């Protein structure tokens, strides 16, 4: 996975989190950015395991955030089938302790 793609994904996630925070909805999760960062880390791990970037994004994220991440790296948005059924079913990643 290219470094520029990692930066684009991180920038898209932080922009999405800022937009959600500005809406001041009662359901905003102040810990969401940390959860998004973990998802980004898993995307990198999937790509390092040889999986396509699109499949890694769809496995870790869904909905509008997945569309924003796909757009950030120049990929097509989710199809209706991917949005409804998850689209990609990559194998689970091993625990980080096992990977090290």
- Tens of pLDDT along 38-86? 999 999 999 999 999 999 999 999 999 999 999 999 999 998 888 888 7
The parent domain of residue 21 ranges over 3-99
Q: Are 33 and 13 in contact (CB under 8 A)?
A: yes
State the total domains in the chain: 1
* Cα–Cα dist 33/92, whole Å: 22
Position 98 scores a pLDDT of 54
């Amino acid at each position: 996975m290219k470094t520029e793609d990692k930066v684009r994904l991180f920038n898209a996630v932080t922009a999405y989190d800022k937009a959600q925070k500005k809406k001041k909805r009662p359901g905003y999760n102040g810990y969401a950015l940390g959860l998004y960062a973990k998802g980004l880390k898993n995307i990198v791990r999937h790509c390092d395991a040889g999986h396509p970037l699109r499949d890694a994004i769809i496995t870790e994220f869904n909905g509008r955030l997945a569309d924003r991440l796909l757009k950030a790296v120049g990929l097509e948005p989710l199809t209706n089938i991917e949005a409804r059924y998850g689209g990609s079913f990559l194998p689970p990643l091993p625990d980080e302790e096992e990977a090290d």
